[in-house]
């Protein structure tokens, strides 16, 4: 894959289109290489949900070679492309334009700046390795999914709730089967083995942050409430 990207970029150079072409490179999921005992993408952990996202916008020099701490989701790519191309925001699509990050890459992530993800697990017994398994729900019909995990990522925390999943393809938000909260403020984010090691959910010192994240999570997924 790396070689093919290089060939594509070389071709843009040869055609003298580099300075007039927006280039976007991203993956569709992260991957565990043994961390948390997993070798898979099937999780709501940081390593399963974090993906590479590189966007080159030649006409916005403030963004050249820069990284940003602002949250982003892959559903943001479509409205971002529209903004970068000078087109109106497309109606009736999820996501938000990431244009502010191009104008000021150094701007810190805001207090309400979140990224969301979700992933199912399929044991019928919540005590049977519910939260994260290697097989996930592979080859399982959607109606037979046992539980769904809904996750919210802020600049400092990842918070995940697990709820029973019904054959009607809805989560039972009245029943909490499991909860996870991971504090990233003291974690070396270049060391993948440190991600999501200590679940601090319901710890008194994190009660305020957990309440804020839980409310934001419920608000975001309210359309899926049973």
The contacts of residue 29 (CB under 8 Å, 6+ apart) are: 41, 48, 49, 51
CA pair distance 124, 219, nearest whole angstrom: 27
Phi, psi of 91 (to 5 degrees): -80, 155
| Residue 48 falls inside a structural domain | yes
Q: Are residues 191 and 121 in the same domain?
A: yes
Which domain, by its residues, includes 176?
A: 115-224
What is the reported pLDDT for 116? 94
| Strand-pair partners of 120 | 148
Q: Is 181 left (phi over 0), alpha (psi -120 to 50) or beta?
A: beta
Report pTM: 0.87
Final residue of a domain: which of 103, 125, 145? Answer: 103
Residues 74 and 131 in one domain: no
Residue 189 lies in a domain: yes
In Å, what is the CA distance from 224 to each residue of 29, 71, 165, 177, 220? 22, 23, 11, 17, 9
Which distant-in-sequence residues (6+ apart) come within 8 Å of 89 by Cβ? 79, 82, 83, 97
Query: 7 with 94, same domain?
Result: yes
Q: Which of 103, 128, 158 is the last residue of a domain?
A: 103
Listed residues 38, 68, 103: the one ending a domain: 103
Specify if 166 maps to a domain: yes
Q: How many CB atoms lie within 10 A of CB 37?
A: 10
What is the side-by-side order of every strand in the sheet holding 157-164? 115-121, 147-153, 157-164, 178-183
Is the residue at 110 inside a domain? no
Does some domain include residue 109?
Answer: no
What's the residue count for the chain?
A: 226
209 SS3 class: helix
Residue 83 covered by a domain: yes
Q: What is the distance, to the nearest Å, from the Cα of residue 18 to the centroid of all Cα atoms in its chain?
A: 29
Count Cα atoms within 13 angstroms, Cβ side, for 164.
11
Whether the CB-CB separation of 128 and 182 falls below 8 Å is answered with no
pLDDT in tens, the chain (226 residues): 678 899 999 999 999 999 999 999 998 888 888 888 888 888 899 999 999 999 999 999 999 999 998 899 999 999 999 999 999 888 888 888 999 999 998 887 665 689 999 988 876 555 555 555 556 677 788 888 888 999 999 999 999 999 999 889 899 999 998 999 999 998 888 888 889 999 999 999 999 999 999 999 999 998 655 4
Measured CA to CA, the distance from residue 1 to residue 59 in angstroms comes to 26
Whether 26 is covered by a domain: the verdict is: yes
Domain co-membership, 120 together with 97: no
C-alpha 60 chain-centroid distance: 25
| Same-domain status, 89 and 190 | no
The reported pLDDT for the residue numbered 23 is 95
Q: Cα dist. 88→31, 97, 99 in Å?
A: 35, 11, 13
User: Strand, helix or coil at 147?
Assistant: strand
Q: Are residues 35 and 96 in the same domain?
A: yes
Q: Are residues 26 and 56 in the same domain?
A: yes
With respect to residue 99, please indicate whether it lies within any of the assigned structural domains.
Answer: yes
For residues 97 and 172, membership in a common domain is answered with no
| Residue 226 pLDDT | 45
Find, among 118, 122, 218, 116, the residue nearest to 165 by Cα.
122
96 and 125 fall within a common domain: no
142 and 69 within one domain? no
- Total structural domains within the chain: 2
pLDDT at res. 141: 85
């Amino acid at each position: 894959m790396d070689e093919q990207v290089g060939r594509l970029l070389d071709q843009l150079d040869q055609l003298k289109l580099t300075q007039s072409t927006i280039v976007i490179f991203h993956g569709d999921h992260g991957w565990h290489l043994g961390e948390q005992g997993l070798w898979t993408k099937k999780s709501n952990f940081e390593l399963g949900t974090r993906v590479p996202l590189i966007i080159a916008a030649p006409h916005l020099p403030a963004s050249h070679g820069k990284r940003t701490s602002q949250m982003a989701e892959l559903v943001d790519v479509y409205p971002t492309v529209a903004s970068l191309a000078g087109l109106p925001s497309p109606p009736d699509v999820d996501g938000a334009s990431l244009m502010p990050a191009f104008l000021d890459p150094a701007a810190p992530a805001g207090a309400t700046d979140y990224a969301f993800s979700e992933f199912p697990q399929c044991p019928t017994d919540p005590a049977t390795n519910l939260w994260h398994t290697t097989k996930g729900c592979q080859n399982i019909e959607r109606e037979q999914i046992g539980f769904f995990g809904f996750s919210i990522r802020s600049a400092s925390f990842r918070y995940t709730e697990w709820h029973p999943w019904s054959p009607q393809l809805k989560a039972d938000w009245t029943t909490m089967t499991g909860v996870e909260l991971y504090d990233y403020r003291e974690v070396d984010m270049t060391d993948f083995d440190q991600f999501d090691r200590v679940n601090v959910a319901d710890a008194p010192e994190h009660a305020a942050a957990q309440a804020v994240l839980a409310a934001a999570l419920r608000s975001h997924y309210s359309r899926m409430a049973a």
